[in-house]
């Protein structure tokens, strides 16, 4: 799209605007910025193929600088991509057309922790773990713990509608947003109102959250925080099968006995957990964890909740499986390299969202479909009063890289088509990026047309992260 001379002009402008050292374009760095954790990218990597590279990477430090970059990019018709930590799994930040990457990691200030309002104002480039630790030191928590917390940013969370492992209590990231600061695709800087709720037209925060850098660039956010929990109660339960386990989760969520963590593993996933269940080995492990700063309330909810889990068919396995989960809760994301190091193997995860009525049907439909192509398992890790997230994990193998790629795609196809036919959502919290775009169009129907037109109106040169969310 962008011509070479326009691109050079743009890089010159960036050098003038940001100064030396805040714009880079050497090839090694460009290769590093060319990919995220989208799994088929590893096939290319193993073969030594160099993916499409960005033209340059720049590091703005203020919203004003981001606004200037967007304005210059509009004038020069140069596409740009907002970038946090590159830990997305769907190609949401990868270049396809010599884009310039706007890496926001230098905008990482924690502007203020407000102990009266229970809010934190934090810039988009702050890393999750850094923010959480800073909050902990002041006696607070964001309550947002994606397993990528060491390698993902607040901006990335907001752009993709991220979920943390404690979502049952604290909600997803969209539930924590009070207000946003950023730059729209037309170059205008905005600060939405700092208010707990309002009735002032469509909720612009909720339109920008999840927009994956296609409508504007979020530079800072005011988020709700909670007092650091004092007491924690964890417990493992064994359930005969997925059906009874799901039923127990549903009852718990609908009885106001909401835990912080609620996870059910299907029989194969339970096997990988290496937890001994009482009774038949084919059973399912459920982990429930209660925490909170209100000790009495937490204790009461935990007591009633554990009791309810027993009443609904759970065999009490004691504290240990719960504490074990807590200890290893981030490990899974950082152990994948062992499998990915195998030349013929690929693993991936697919998280979908479904109401309780259809949850078992979706699981039973999608799992065998994925299972035809390799090893497939699932856990149910984000529960809501009206439904649940099914998190499929699968491993496919083939000595032919192209066939491996094909098998991976087929597994996705099985899962996505099952969601679309049942009326579930194709993504619960990983987002869309490039890879899910075609299925997104099917899920949103007339809604996708609205997003496409909205993008065209606000981003007339289509320069912001083109092609992501299927918006081009």
Partner 1 sequence: MRFEIFQAGFRLFAPDAIIVIQMESVAYSSLPKAVLQEIIKIVGERNFSAMPVQLASYSRDIWTRKTLEMQAGKLPVPPQLVVWPESVEQVQALVRLASENEIPLIPLGAASGVCGGTIALSRGITIDLKKMDRIRSLDRASFLVEAEAGIIGEIFERELNHQGFTLGHFPSSIYCSSLGGWVATRSAGQLSSKYGKIEDLVVSLEVVLPDGQLLRTRTVPRSATGPSLNHIFIGSEGTLGIITAATLRLREYPKARAFQGFVFPDLRQGLESIRKMMQAELKPAVIRLYDPVDTYFSSQGTLEEKKKEERGKGNGNSGLSARRGLIHLARKVLPALYNPRLPNRFLQSRAKASKMILIFEGEPELVALEHRQAKEICLKCGGIDTGEWPARNWWKHRYKVSYTMSKVFDLGFFVDTIEVATLWDNLENLYYKMQKAISKHALVMAHFSHAYPQGCSIYFSIAATGKTLEDRLRRYDQIWDDALDAGMKAGGTLSHHHGIGILKAKWMEQESGGASPLLQALKTTIDPKKIMNPGKLGI
β-pair type (231-239, 315-316): antiparallel
To the nearest whole angstrom, how small is the minimum distance from the Cβ of residue 206 to partner 1?
4
To the nearest whole angstrom, how small is the minimum distance from the Cβ of residue 303 to partner 1?
9
Q: Give the nearer residue to partner 1 in terms of CB position, either 68 or 430.
A: 430
Q: Give the nearer residue to partner 1 in terms of CB position, either 216 or 238.
A: 216
Q: Give the nearer residue to partner 1 in terms of CB position, either 222 or 367.
A: 222
Q: Give the nearer residue to partner 1 in terms of CB position, either 132 or 351.
A: 351
Q: Give the nearer residue to partner 1 in terms of CB position, either 305 or 374.
A: 305
To the nearest whole angstrom, how small is the minimum distance from the Cβ of residue 140 to partner 1?
11
Per DSSP, 428 falls in state S
**d(C-alpha 32, C-alpha 101), whole Å:** 12
Distance (Å) of CA 62 to CA 65, 86, 151, 214, 449: 5, 20, 22, 19, 33
Nearest to 102 by CA among 28, 148, 51, 153: 153
Neighbours of 326 (CB within 10 A): 15
To the nearest whole angstrom, how small is the minimum distance from the Cβ of residue 213 to partner 1?
11
Nearest to 432 by CA among 471, 460, 461: 471
To the nearest whole angstrom, how small is the minimum distance from the Cβ of residue 39 to partner 1?
18
8 Å CB contact between 123 and 219: yes
Q: Give the nearer residue to partner 1 in terms of CB position, either 118 or 310.
A: 118
**d(C-alpha 124, C-alpha 436), whole Å:** 24
8 Å CB contact between 159 and 102: no
To the nearest whole angstrom, how small is the minimum distance from the Cβ of residue 24 to partner 1?
30
**d(C-alpha 367, C-alpha 22), whole Å:** 47
β-pair type (140-141, 216-224): unpaired
Distance (Å) of CA 327 to CA 71, 233, 320: 47, 14, 10
Distance (Å) of CA 311 to CA 19, 262, 287: 65, 16, 16
**d(C-alpha 393, C-alpha 332), whole Å:** 11
**d(C-alpha 203, C-alpha 418), whole Å:** 31
Distance (Å) of CA 124 to CA 115, 142, 219, 425, 455: 21, 15, 5, 27, 22
Per DSSP, 127 falls in state B
To the nearest whole angstrom, how small is the minimum distance from the Cβ of residue 249 to partner 1?
12
Q: Give the nearer residue to partner 1 in terms of CB position, either 91 or 374.
A: 91
Q: Give the nearer residue to partner 1 in terms of CB position, either 222 or 347.
A: 222
To the nearest whole angstrom, how small is the minimum distance from the Cβ of residue 308 to partner 1?
11
**d(C-alpha 457, C-alpha 451), whole Å:** 10
To the nearest whole angstrom, how small is the minimum distance from the Cβ of residue 229 to partner 1?
10
Q: Give the nearer residue to partner 1 in terms of CB position, either 69 or 176.
A: 176
């Amino acid at each position: 799209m962008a011509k070479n001379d326009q691109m050079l002009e743009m890089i010159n402008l960036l050098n003038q605007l940001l100064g030396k050292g805040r714009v880079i374009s050497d090839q090694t760095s460009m290769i590093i910025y060319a990919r995220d954790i989208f799994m088929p990218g590893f096939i290319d990597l193993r073969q030594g193929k160099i993916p499409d590279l960005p033209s340059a990477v720049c590091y703005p430090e203020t919203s004003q600088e981001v606004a200037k970059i967007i304005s210059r990019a509009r004038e020069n018709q140069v596409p740009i991509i907002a970038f946090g930590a590159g830990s997305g799994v769907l190609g949401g930040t990868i270049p396809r057309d010599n884009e310039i990457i706007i890496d926001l990691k230098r905008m990482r200030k924690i502007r203020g922790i407000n102990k009266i309002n229970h809010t934190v104002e934090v810039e988009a480039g702050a890393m999750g773990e850094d923010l959480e630790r800073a909050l902990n030191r002041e006696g607070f928590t964001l309550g947002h713990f994606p397993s990528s917390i060491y390698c993902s940013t607040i901006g990335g969370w907001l752009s993709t509608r991220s979920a943390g492992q404690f979502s049952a209590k604290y909600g997803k990231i969209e539930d924590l947003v009070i207000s946003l600061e950023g730059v729209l695709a037309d170059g205008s800087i905005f600060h939405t109102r700092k208010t707990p709720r309002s009735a002032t037209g469509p909720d612009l925060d909720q339109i920008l959250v999840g927009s994956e850098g296609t409508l504007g660039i979020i530079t800072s956010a005011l988020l709700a925080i909670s007092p650091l929990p004092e007491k924690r109660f964890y417990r493992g339960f064994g359930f005969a099968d997925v059906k009874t386990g799901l039923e127990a989760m549903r009852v718990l969520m609908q009885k106001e006995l909401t835990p912080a963590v609620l996870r059910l593993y299907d029989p194969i996933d339970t096997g990988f957990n290496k937890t001994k269940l009482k009774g038949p080995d084919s059973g399912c492990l459920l982990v429930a964890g209660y925490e909170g700063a209100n000790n009495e309330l937490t204790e009461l909810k935990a007591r009633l909740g554990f009791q309810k889990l027993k009443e609904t068919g759970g065999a009490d396995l004691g504290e240990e499986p719960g504490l074990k989960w807590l200890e290893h809760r981030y490990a899974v994301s950082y152990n994948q390299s062992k499998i990915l190091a195998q030349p013929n193997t690929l693993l991936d995860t697919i998280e979908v969202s479904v109401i309780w009525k259809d949850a078992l049907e979706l699981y039973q439909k999608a799992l065998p479909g994925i299972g035809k192509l390799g090893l497939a398992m699932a856990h149910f890790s984000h529960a809501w009063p009206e439904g649940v997230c099914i998190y499929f994990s699968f491993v496919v193998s083939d000595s032919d890289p192209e066939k491996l790629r094909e098998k991976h795609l087929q597994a996705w196809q099985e899962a996505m088509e099952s969601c679309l036919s049942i009326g579930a959502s194709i993504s619960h919290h990983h987002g869309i990026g490039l890879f899910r775009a075609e299925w997104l169009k099917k899920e949103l129907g007339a809604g996708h047309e609205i997003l496409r037109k909205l993008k065209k109106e606000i981003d007339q040169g289509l320069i912001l992260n083109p092609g992501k969310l299927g918006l081009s």
